[in-house]
Amino acid sequence: MPDNQQNIRLLLHAIEGINRTMELKQLLLKCMESVCTVIDAEASSLMLLDKATGRLHLSVPTGPVKDEIKGQIIPRDKGVAGWVLRNRKPYLVNDMANSKEFFGDISKGFTTRNMVCVP
């Protein structure tokens, strides 16, 4: 029960921060930071689809290499994010090093151990 109460407190704190944010970029960043806090993740990223090109743009990254990866482009046929885009289903990977969907070009300088990706 204490873990559940802690998660609820974290979620409420995140919601309070989101409610104080008016600018869209700041709001999205707060959302991604809150996701990291609630699920105890080291990093996260929000990718936006460019409908004209079909590519994913790494728009709102968090974590230790956020500045290095911001703005990178992922082809729709690459990586876990590409798989999720094509299949419109969530994808959970517990061992990225052995995942056939791993697209290592993005995470240079950062070891991605596991990942959850949702459409």
Q: Is the pLDDT of residue 1 over 60?
A: no
Binned at pLDDT 50, 70 and 90, residue 47 comes out as: very high
Q: Which long-range contacts (CB under 8 A, 24 or more apart) does 7-11 make?
A: 7/38, 10/34, 10/37, 10/38, 11/38
pLDDT in tens, 63-119: 898 998 899 998 888 889 999 999 999 999 888 878 888 776 666 667 778 888 898
H/E segment holding residue 84: helix 79-87
Cα torsion at 74, 45, 101, 40 (round to 10°)?
A: 170
Where do the structural domains in the chain lie, given as residue ranges? 1-40, 43-119
> Is residue 96 within 8 Å of 102, Cβ to Cβ?
yes
pLDDT at 22: 65
For domain 43-119, give the CATH number: 3.30.450.40
